[in-house]
Structure 1
Amino acid sequence: MLKKIWATSVAAISLGLLAPAAGAQELNFGIISTESSQQLKQQWQPVLDALTQQTGLKVNAFFAPDYAGVIEGMRFNKVQFAWFGNKSAMEAVDRANGEVFAKVVNIDGTEGYYSHLIVHRDSALKSVDDVLKNAKNLNFGNGDPNSTSGFLVPGYYVFAKNNVDTKSAFKVARSANHETNAMAVANKQVDVATNNSETLAKLEKTMPEKVKELRIVWTSPLIASDPLVWRKDLPDATKAKLKAFFTSYGKTNPAEREVMAKLNWSTFKESNNSQLLPIRQLDMFSKRTKVEADTTLAEDDKKRQLAELDKKLAELK
């Protein structure tokens, strides 16, 4: 496992940029791989250019092949701040000296989004029950293991609560980013996949014909908006510049609003680590459900693990 994490980290660092030179006002901004790097660069580069112009900080985009690459980049200080989902932000806070400082706001002013299960519009699958009953004959597109909407949320509400292990339940199960999963379903390469409302809204603008081939068979409860996370050891003056920029960007400037619209957001809003509390609870509930359903565990081991998880859950309240 450690070898895999290290390999991912090295791959991420090789795709990114070297850490800023000591004393230089230069930062690397991590961007999780929800879509292709080229598409994400087009969407984010105007924001980073404006950040450089308005603050005097030179900001470089840092891409990785998966979410873990950005988390590990922050852990090793190759990334100083980043856009994450809530699950990956939780990992960055716990393992990479991260701290939430802002979150995105949707175009309509709401502060959340939804996880989905999607199928092809011609599919006979109409519900979660259909998916679970026919899993042995289906190819499943799961999300990145550090994705909130692509993995954690459906992993709990759809699979853990129904005592289903995706690795063994489906004919084939593989992981990919949201855009890749959506295209795989549209092209009938997989039968069902995880996705989210943000990605589908973006694809409606960029690939509307493909989105027409998709149908949603499950929608989650509301998930908190994506957070921005910085390393806690950034200088206070740098943090002040970043927070001031993001909390004002897109509020009045028409050009900035246009840039944000392409990201399918309106503005950024100040936030903190407390927004991760529901995700922590969901993560613990998911782990507890898996332990409870594990028939290979000795009864004493199961009781011990459940007691430990219940203690952690109680501490989160």
Structure 2
Amino acid sequence: MRYLFAVLALLVSLGSTAADNQRPQFTFTAIPDQNEAELVRRFQQVADYLSKELDVDVKYMPVKSYPAAITAFRNNQVQLAWFGGLSGVQARRAVPGSEAIAQGYEDQFFKTYFIAHASAGLQPAETLSDTLRGKTFTFGSKGSTSGRLMPEFHLRETFGEAPGEIFSRVGFSGDHSRTIALVQSGAYQVGAVNYAVWEKAVDKAEVNPDQVSVIWTTPAYADYQWTVRGDIDRQLGAGFKQRLTRALLKLEDESILRAFPRSRFVPADNDVYRAIEETATAIGLLDDF
């Protein structure tokens, strides 16, 4: 009898394990626009929230670059991603049928700051001027909307020249946090940075106002968004995209929202990013997509 109970207990355990293994796996990623530790903290919270709301196993997969995020999305290693405006357009081109489903409220009115080291002798202004000529300049990532696409668009529109013809040296820091660090250290005289990352760094006293300050702000544009693969319902069941969208839009956890930082998420669709797509096409950033 004891043997029989042991066998039954083993069967129950195996059945429970099998059921656990059959639970759907849902994976997402995000562009690495800040330091990795900050991103892991933020998106592990999102993974835990979505797992509870959707009743699936949700995993956050860190990536090392913007192209790596797009590649993971294209190869179905992830089914959802927190993209910038440009990377979202690129990802949706790579995976036809994919959709932008939600954005931060603030992402409807995004801005880029041009920041400058005190030694550059540049003053805040309402327009870009020839005082920038000959300075050293760093963008963020090559695939960043706020750190590359929009600042380059405005530079070309103002000067009628490519950045390499305006500045004595042009670089790419890789992310917004590094842009701030490079300009603050004087390694570059001027840089383009996501306004939200800048303001968060200021709030955390990571910026020395005697060394670096904002000298110009771009007009507003749409930027970050959650983009989901077009085949998500086929992979995870009918109605999953709708449930996912609803979960993102009703997210009210203050600790998660502060980590972005966003006040809430609002609906989005692909048409919101049409201007981004047109600008990227004009500059030649979609040639490989």
Q: Which residue of 1 aligns with 2:274?
A: 277
Report the Cα distance in structure 1 between the residues aligned to 2:210 and 2:53, rounded to whole angstroms.
Answer: 40
Q: Does 1:165 align with 2:141?
A: no
Secondary structure of 1:224's counterpart equals coil
Q: TM-score, normalised by structure 2?
A: 0.81
Give 2:265's match in structure 1, choosing from 261, 264, 268: 268
How far is the alpha carbon of 1:43 from its aligned partner? 2.0
User: Are the aligned partners of 1:249 and 1:267 in contact in 2 as well (CA < 8 Å)?
Assistant: yes
Q: Does 1:220 align with 2:222?
A: no
User: Are the aligned partners of 1:160 and 1:286 in contact in 2 as well (CA < 8 Å)?
Assistant: no
How far is the alpha carbon of 1:96 from its aligned partner? 2.8
Report the Cα distance in structure 1 between the residues aligned to 2:241 and 2:63, rounded to whole angstroms.
Answer: 24
Report the Cα distance in structure 1 between the residues aligned to 2:266 and 2:208, rounded to whole angstroms.
Answer: 32
How far is the alpha carbon of 1:123 from its aligned partner? 3.0
User: Are the aligned partners of 2:155 and 2:162 in contact in 1 as well (CA < 8 Å)?
Assistant: no
Q: Which residue of 2 aligns with 1:66?
A: 65
Q: Which residue of 1 aligns with 2:105?
A: 105
Report the Cα distance in structure 2 between the residues aligned to 1:89 and 1:211, rounded to whole angstroms.
Answer: 33
Give 2:196's match in structure 1, choosing from 188, 195, 198: 198
Change (3 A) 1:209 1:86: closer
Gap runs ≥5 in structure 1: 1-21, 251-255, 288-317
The higher radius of gyration belongs to 2
Count residues in correspondence: 256
List per-residue Cα deviations over 1:83-106 (Å, max 9, x = no partner): 111111110111134311111113
How far is the alpha carbon of 1:193 from its aligned partner? 0.8
How far is the alpha carbon of 1:201 from its aligned partner? 1.8
Report the Cα distance in structure 1 between the residues aligned to 2:33 and 2:23, rounded to whole angstroms.
Answer: 30
1:75-154 alignment, distance < 5 Å = 75-97=74-96, 98-106=98-106, 111-126=108-123, 128-133=128-133, 135=134, 138-154=135-151
List per-residue Cα deviations over 1:250-305 (Å, max 9, x = no partner): 1xxxxx12321232201111211011112123234445xxxxxxxxxxxxxxxxxx
Change (3 A) 1:131 1:183: farther
1:283-294 alignment, distance < 5 Å = 283-286=280-283
Change (3 A) 1:155 1:209: closer
Report the Cα distance in structure 1 between the residues aligned to 2:158 and 2:114, rounded to whole angstroms.
Answer: 15
1:236-275 alignment, distance < 5 Å = 236-250=238-252, 256-275=253-272
State the identity as a percent.
Answer: 21
User: Are the aligned partners of 1:179 and 1:199 in contact in 2 as well (CA < 8 Å)?
Assistant: yes
Q: Which residue of 1 aligns with 2:10?
A: none
Q: Which residue of 2 aligns with 1:232?
A: 230
List per-residue Cα deviations over 1:30-87 (Å, max 9, x = no partner): 1111101111111222122111122112221122222111011101111110111111
For 2:139, the aligned partner's letter is N
List per-residue Cα deviations over 1:134-191 (Å, max 9, x = no partner): x2xx332112222111111111111354232224543332212111001111111111
Q: TM-score, normalised by structure 1?
A: 0.74
Q: Which residue of 1 aligns with 2:45?
A: 46
RMSD (CA atoms): 2.3
User: Are the aligned partners of 1:185 and 1:214 in contact in 2 as well (CA < 8 Å)?
Assistant: yes
